[in-house]
Each structure stands twice: as C-alpha cells, then as structure tokens.
C-alpha cells in the first residue's frame, strides 16, 4: 500500500482505473487516463505606499492541460478585503462566497464591519472544514487574504496552509505553482533594490507585480503569461483606506508596455 497522502495515487497503486465517462465525459474504458483536478496557479500580494496590491494570472490547469485562460483568482470579499486563490477553484470560490456572505451578515446585523481578527478566524475555519477534500488530493485551497486595517492605517497580508493555519507577512506573499520561481526574487527586490515595497508608488507596485507574474510564467508552464495576441491581462486589485479597486484592462496594457517592453 502506498504511504503517500494523495487519495488518487493510492487508488491507482491498488489497480483502480477511473472510467473515462466520469473523468472526461466521453465513452471508453478509461485505461491509462489519469485524473487531474482543476487547479488555479500563481497569485501574489505586496504592500506599497497606499496599501496592498494583489495580482494573479488567469490560467486554470488540470495536470499539463490548460482548461481555462480567463479565471479570476483575485476575489473581492468586502470593501477592504480581497482573497486571492490557488489550488482548487471549485472549493476556493465556495469558500469565498461563504466568507463574503458572513461579512455582509455581520455588517448588516451589527451595523459595522467585522474585525480583522474575526475575518481571519472565519477564513481559517472554512479552510479547516475543507481538510477532507485537501487530504484526498482534489480540493486543497491555499489562499492569500489581503485587507486594509483602518485602525492602524496600514495594509495587511496573510497566507494560509491547507490546515487553516494563518500567518501574517510584513511586505509580500506568493503561492501557487509559480511561487517558487518568484519568492526569492521578491525577497531580493524588497531588500536590495533600493526601494522597499512599502515605499513604492501605485504604478511601480502594479508594474512590479506584472513583471513577477511574467517571470513566473517563464519558469512555470501552469502560469499564464500576458500575450498581446490573446489580450488577456492578469487580474490586479489594490486595497487602500478608500477600499478595494480593480486595475482596468486598458491601464494594465499601458503599464505592461511601460514596465515590460
């Protein structure tokens, strides 16, 4: 028996064959057809002068197949909170929906926003409740939660593991399949580029995010790269004291030309 933690690897090691009509919607005996759950890929967040920039590529994959190239992995939760997702989109979008409704219910019932501590705890519990799916290897969700602390007048970034443990980072976070390619780059540029991330202007922070996603795509086939021929830019949002805001596609194209060409 396999000692691994992936439920599907265990089934395959015991000789189980997944029916093709179950995993692919086609006729056949399924022999030799692997099951690959859909996954979101690279997301990142970094602090800048006015708050936090959160960005994600648009690709969703299953194994080495590109299933979708217009996925939005940066999800607004409330006025001052954004959740970026990697891992299983099905589980992540459901967690985001429940989280958004929880925040709305609290605001309407208490006539004030939920505290940051309560928001973080609520998300942690939702991820922990998803543990059975994560253990089976088909539903792990590894999010980044970014918010603006109006009490301290500062942007905050948190990341989670698959068990729901929550960690706050000072200046940046990244997760997903392309994270390994850019985590060291983020540390280096934050510490030794001459301008720490919290001192960056909005345009410089967004431009850096585009460069980082482009770098991740260079070394990770699961991360989607912005190409003018397809014209599908990444999803980028900012969170400030004024609330969360989308960076529009026209502005992203202009910033891409400015910072990457």
Which residues pair with residue 81 across a beta bridge?
A: 78, 147
> Residue length, the chain?
261
Give CA–CA dist 165/77, Å, rounded: 20
Calpha distance 209→141 (Å, rounded)? 22
Active site (annotated) includes residue 41 = yes
CA distance 84 to 159: 10
| Cβ neighbours of residue 110 closer than 8 Å, sequence gap 6 or more | none
Contacts 24+ apart (CB under 8 A), 99-107: 99/123, 99/126, 100/76, 103/77, 103/78, 104/78, 107/78
Distance CA 186, CA 240 (A): 21
Check residue 60 and report its DSSP letter. Answer: E
Q: Do the beta carbons of residue 28 and residue 193 sit within 8 Å?
A: no
Comparing CA positions, the residue from 141, 171, 198 lying closest to residue 44 is 171
Is the four-CA dihedral 210, 216, 219, 224 of positive or negative sign?
negative
Per the residue annotation, which of 41, 174, 189, 223 is the catalytic one?
A: 41
Active site amino acids: 41
């Amino acid at each position: 028996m396999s000692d691994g933690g992936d439920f599907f690897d265990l089934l395959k090691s015991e000789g189980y064959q997944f029916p093709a009509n179950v995993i692919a919607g086609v006729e056949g005996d399924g022999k030799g057809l692997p099951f690959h759950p859909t996954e979101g890929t690279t997301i990142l967040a970094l602090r800048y002068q006015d708050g936090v920039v959160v960005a994600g590529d648009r690709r969703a994959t299953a194994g080495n197949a590109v299933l979708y190239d217009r996925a939005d992995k940066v999800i607004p939760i409330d006025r001052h909170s954004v959740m970026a997702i990697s891992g299983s989109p099905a589980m992540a979008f459901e967690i985001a929906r429940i989280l958004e409704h929880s925040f709305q219910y609290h605001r309407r019932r208490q006539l004030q926003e939920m505290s940051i501590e309560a928001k973080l705890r609520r998300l942690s519990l939702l991820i922990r409740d998803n543990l059975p799916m994560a253990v089976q290897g088909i539903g792990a969700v590894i999010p980044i939660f970014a918010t603006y602390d109006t009490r301290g007048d500062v942007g905050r970034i948190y990341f989670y593991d698959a068990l729901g443990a929550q960690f706050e980072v000072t200046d940046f976070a990244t997760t997903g399949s392309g994270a390994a390619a850019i985590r060291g780059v983020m540390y280096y540029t934050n510490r030794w580029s001459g301008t720490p991330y919290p001192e960056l202007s909005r345009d410089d922070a967004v431009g850096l995010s585009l460069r980082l996603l482009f770098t991740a795509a260079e070394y990770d086939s699961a991360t989607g790269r912005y190409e003018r021929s397809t014209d599908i830019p990444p999803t980028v949002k900012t969170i400030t004291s004024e609330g969360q805001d989308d960076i529009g596609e026209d502005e992203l194209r202009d910033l891409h030309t400015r910072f990457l060409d």
